[in-house]
């Protein structure tokens, strides 16, 4: 009999194969005393385990293919750094000496202390770092207890073609999947914005998260079909279902190969409206992909990643050099630099004062609010962008505006910087474009006011939806309310687009919604003419745009705006998408 289970599909694609289950490490750690004469030997045993754990992790890192997204190496680097940190290196040694206890026990005590600190943090992002502590500690414990590495880390190819099932996964696990030819995975926990989900998308592995109690129904070696787009797993599928999915799988493959032909082709609707397709970029290393997919430019460069994993924020020269370097790669394509958006779910080592943890961080001192409070953090970046503007078409974009006064202060600061540069005869682009992100409902409602003061707007749907629906975007318990199709969200998008049209300024969209093919028709119908998307999604969006007529889509969007709820909008769009494709 076929059983169907449902979860949250976070990475599209179909996989068919046998299951391999990864069980979480559960070590039974007991305390025992060490004779005073053997303490040094016990410390050596601990230090050797740490060294070996580090070597294992480095070996995993070395197996990452050069083409792999930099997110993955960054995760492993974080774990390597933790292995070098005094909290995990020195503290257990001190405990072994002080308590005359075994290394495993000392490490367990230190792990509990660290996890307690993380658990008490209000910042949702930092709270998730306790999983990283557990991951690193387990690796050392496994060494101390002489346990073999898990099967999926062994360098044989026995797992090739398997689909992994786990309660949750670590970044290093995910990297090894690629190395061992594992085709897909499903987890019992996690949401669409979890690390695991992000990694699955960047690796292009079909994946489902949050499939609760999956381990109760799926056994080792079960034959399953996994549909990442719909979040469905079929256990022991019947021949008919198998045939259907194998056909879908082939069609998908053919489809993605065919998209390559669109590189370098114009993006234009069947009724002749040109559409701009820009790319979202996080790290300078990823700028090459902008040219590879033939994007019209970079619509969102998330610069806060420059501030992460370091003690001090970058200075003006570092900003300037980075921007000049990426502009060279872009060879004259426009670059929209989003000024730093630290706070909330963003890791903030190199930017935020320690101890500054709000009880409601997404509603707290984040993005432009933090920048205006701390000009020493903001001004060097602004100055560097203005100076870099002499080297090519750069636009400055301010995140999380909620009040026009914030923008007026920024514009004043820009004018001051320009005067300073004039005095020193430092050149810059006199027509530097300054824009703002519309991602707070208050800004969307008053988009006309922002449009009067700015050169362009860009809609950040990730936050706009979070704030409109009053849900924390990293909290998987309220994820079900994260609905891009809610008429309230659509009306705010529409209001913003209309404000731009009236003021004759461009309005882009750079949130995830812009890069999701299921919303392309609706967004075009609502009036969006500039999309900024993850490079991997760009050609698919281009394909959809090049095959549709705006006249039809405008009528559909009108219907959607008047719908009662997201389900009704989804039905309107699904039937339209079917008839349009
Ligand atoms: C957004 O909120 O939609 C956005 C693009 O910004 P970020 O995801 O970086 O908050
Ligand atoms: Mg945002």
Look at 12 and 202; give whichever has higher pLDDT: 12
The residue segments making up the domain with residue 122 are 36-144
Query: Which of the listed residues 281, 437, 471 should we mutate to test ligand 1's pocket, taking the one with most ligand atoms within 8 A of CB?
Result: 437
Q: Which phi and psi (to 5°) does residue 125 adopt?
A: -65, -50
Query: How close is the Cα of 15 to the center of ligand 2, in Å?
Result: 33
Domain CATH for 165: 3.50.30.10
In-domain check, residue 30: no
Query: What is the average pLDDT across 429-440?
Result: 97
Q: Do 166 and 296 share a structural domain?
A: no
| 157 shares a domain with 133 | no
Domain final residue pick, 241, 261, 281? 241
Q: Give the closest residue to 340 by CA, choosing from 361, 369, 309.
A: 369
Catalytic residue ranges: 195, 510
**Is residue 7, in this structure, part of any structural domain at all?**
yes
Q: Does residue 510 line the site of ligand 1, with CB under 6 A?
A: yes
- Cα-to-centroid distance, 460 and ligand 1 (Å): 5
CB of residue 17 inside a 6 A radius of ligand 1: no
Q: Which of 198, 339, 399 has most ligand 1 atoms within 8 Å of its beta carbon, as the pocket-test mutant?
A: 399
Task: Say if residue 452 is in the same domain as residue 549.
Answer: yes
Please indicate, yes or no, if residue 260 is contained in any of the structural domains. Answer: no
User: How far apart (Å, rounded) are the C-alpha atoms in residues 104 and 83?
Assistant: 15
Residue with CA nearest ligand 1 atom 7: 462
CATH of the domain at 45: 1.10.274.10
C-alpha torsion angle, residues 77, 83, 88, 93 (rounded to 10): -160
Q: 10 Å Cβ neighbour count for 145?
A: 13
Question: How many angstroms is it from 27 CA to the middle of ligand 1?
Answer: 40
**Domain CATH number, residue 294:** 3.20.20.60
Residues 400 and 536 in one domain: yes
Instruction: Say which residue, 134 or 234, is predicted with more confidence.
Output: 234
Atom of ligand 1 nearest to the CA of 460: 3
403, 375: one domain: yes
Sign of the dihedral through C-alpha 269, 273, 274, 276: negative
Residues 114, 222: one domain? no
| pLDDT of res. 159 | 80
The pLDDT of residue 354 is 41
Please work out whether the CB of residue 460 comes within 6 Å of at least one atom of ligand 1. Answer: yes
Q: Looking at the CA of 304, which ligand is closest? A: 1
**Same domain for 133 and 193?**
no
| Residues 287 and 223 grouped into a single domain | no
- pLDDT of residue 14 exceeding 70, the answer is yes
- Answer whether residue 198 is part of any domain: yes
The verdict on 107 and 159 lying in the same domain is no
pLDDT (tens digit per residue) in 518-533: 899 999 999 999 999 9
Measured between its terminal Cα atoms, the distance across the chain in Å is 34
pLDDT digits over 47-57, tens only?
999 999 888 88
Q: How far is CA 277 from CA 101, 260, 267, 531, in A?
A: 61, 15, 7, 5
Which of residues 144, 171, 193 is at a domain's end?
Answer: 144
What pLDDT, on a 0 to 100 scale, did the predictor assign at position 552? 92
Instruction: Convert the pLDDT of each residue in 157-209 to its tens digit.
Output: 678 889 999 988 875 677 667 667 889 999 998 776 566 676 677 677 899 99
Are 324 and 290 members of one domain?
Answer: yes
Q: Could you tell me the pTM of the whole model?
A: 0.70
- What atom of ligand 1 comes closest to residue 513's alpha carbon? 3
Same domain, 237 and 340: no
State residue 66's pLDDT score: 60
Provide DSSP, 89-112.
Answer: HHHHHHHHHHHTB-HHHHHHHHHH
Q: Is 351 in the pocket of ligand 1 (CB under 6 A)?
A: no
Which residue, 144, 174, 189, sits at the end of a domain? 144
Tell me if 253 is assigned to some domain.
no
Check residue 152 and report its DSSP letter: G
Is the pLDDT reported for residue 286 higher than 90?
A: no
- Please report whether residue 255 resides in a domain: no
Q: How many angstroms is it from 358 CA to the middle of ligand 2? A: 18
In terms of C-beta distances under 8 Å and separation of at least 24 residues, what long-range contacts does 128-137 make, across chains too?
Answer: 128/194, 128/195, 128/474, 131/168, 131/170, 132/78, 132/79, 132/82, 133/82, 135/79, 135/170, 135/172, 136/53, 136/79, 136/82, 136/83, 136/88, 137/88, 137/107, 137/108, 137/111
Lowest mean pLDDT among 65-79, 170-184, 327-341, 526-540: 65-79
Q: 439: CA distance to ligand 2 center in Å?
A: 6
Assess contact for 466 and 362: CB atoms under 8 A.
yes
> Parallel, antiparallel, or unpaired for β 232-235 and 276-281?
unpaired
202 falls within a domain: yes
Q: Please state which of the ranges 171-185, 399-413, 559-573 shows the lowest mean pLDDT.
A: 171-185
Q: How far apart are CA 436 and CA 398, in angstroms?
A: 5
Atom of ligand 1 nearest to the CA of 459: 3
In the predicted structure, residue 488 carries a pLDDT above the cut 90: yes
pLDDT computed for residue 345 by the predictor: 56
Quick one: which atom of ligand 1 is closest to the CA of 399? 6
Q: Report the pLDDT value the prediction gives residue 352, as an integer from 0 to 100.
A: 45
Using pLDDT thresholds of 50, 70 and 90, give the confidence band for residue 233.
very high
Is 221 within the bounds of a domain?
Answer: yes
Tell me, yes or no, whether 220 and 310 share the same domain.
Answer: no
Q: How many angstroms does the Cα of residue 429 sit away from the middle of ligand 2?
A: 27
Into how many domains does the chain fold?
Answer: 3
Q: What is the mean pLDDT of residues 127-151?
A: 80
Provide the percentage of residues in the chain whose pLDDT is more than 70: 87
Establish whether residue 566 lines the binding site of ligand 1, counting it when its CB lies within 6 angstroms of any ligand atom. Answer: no
């Amino acid at each position: 009999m076929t059983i169907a289970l449902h979860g949250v599909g976070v990475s599209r694609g179909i996989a068919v194969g046998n299951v391999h289950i990864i069980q979480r490490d559960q070590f039974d750690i007991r305390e025992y005393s060490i004779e005073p004469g053997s303490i040094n030997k016990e410390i050596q045993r601990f230090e050797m385990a740490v060294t070996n754990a580090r070597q294992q992790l480095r070996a995993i890192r070395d197996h990452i293919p050069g083409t792999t997204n930099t997110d993955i190496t960054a995760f492993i680097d974080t774990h390597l750094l933790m292995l070098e940190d005094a909290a995990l290196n020195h503290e257990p040694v001190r405990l072994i000496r002080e308590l005359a206890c075994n290394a495993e026990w000392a490490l367990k005590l230190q792990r509990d202390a660290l996890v307690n600190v993380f658990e008490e943090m209000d910042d949702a992002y930092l709270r998730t770092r306790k999983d990283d502590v557990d991951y690193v500690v387990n690796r050392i414990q496994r060494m101390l207890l002489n346990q073999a590495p898990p099967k999926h880390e062994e360098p044989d190819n026995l797992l090739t073609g398997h689909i992994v099932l786990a309660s949750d996964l670590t970044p290093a696990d995910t990297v090894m999947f690629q190395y061992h030819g594992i085709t897909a995975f499903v987890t019992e926990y996690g949401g669409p914005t979890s690390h695991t989900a992000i990694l699955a998308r960047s690796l292009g592995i079909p994946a489902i998260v949050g499939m609760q109690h999956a381990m109760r129904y799926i056994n080792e070696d079960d034959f399953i079909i996994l549909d990442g787009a719909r979040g469905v797993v079929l256990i022991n599928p019947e021949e008919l279902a198998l045939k259907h999915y194998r056909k879908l799988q082939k069609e998908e493959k053919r489809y993605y190969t065919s998209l390559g032909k669109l590189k370098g082709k114009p993006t234009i609707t069947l009724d002749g409206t040109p559409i701009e397709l820009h790319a979202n970029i996080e790290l300078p290393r990823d700028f090459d992909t902008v040219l590879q997919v033939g994007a019209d430019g970079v619509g969102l460069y998330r610069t806060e990643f420059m501030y992460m994993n370091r003690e001090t924020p970058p200075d003006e020269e570092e900003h300037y050099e980075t921007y000049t370097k990426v502009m060279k790669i872009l060879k004259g394509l426009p670059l929209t630099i989003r000024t730093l958006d630290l706070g909330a779910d963003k890791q903030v080592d190199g930017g935020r004062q320690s101890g500054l943890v709000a009880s409601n961080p997404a509603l707290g001192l984040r993005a432009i609010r933090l920048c205006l409070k701390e000009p020493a953090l903001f001004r060097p970046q602004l100055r560097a962008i203005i100076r870099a503007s002499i080297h090519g078409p750069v636009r400055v974009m301010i995140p999380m505006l909620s009040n026009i006064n914030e923008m007026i202060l920024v514009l004043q600061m820009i004018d001051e910087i320009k005067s300073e540069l004039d005095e020193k005869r430092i050149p810059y682009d006199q027509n530097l474009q300054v824009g703002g992100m519309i991602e707070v409902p208050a800004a969307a409602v008053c988009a006309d006011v922002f449009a009067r003061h700015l050169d362009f707007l860009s809609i950040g749907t990730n936050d706009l939806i979070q704030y409109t629906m009053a849900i924390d975007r990293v909290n998987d318990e309220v994820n079900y309310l994260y609905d891009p199709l809610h008429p309230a969200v659509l009306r705010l998008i529409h209001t913003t687009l209309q404000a731009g049209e009236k003021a004759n300024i461009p309005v882009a969209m750079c949130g995830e919604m812009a890069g999701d093919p299921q919303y392309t028709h609706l967004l075009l119908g609502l009036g969006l003419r500039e999309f900024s998307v993850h490079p991997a999604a760009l050609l698919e969006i281009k394909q959809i745009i090049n095959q549709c007529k705006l006249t039809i889509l405008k009528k559909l969007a009108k219907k959607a705006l008047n719908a009662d709820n997201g389900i009704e909008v989804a039905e309107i769009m699904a039937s339209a998408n079917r008839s349009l494709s």
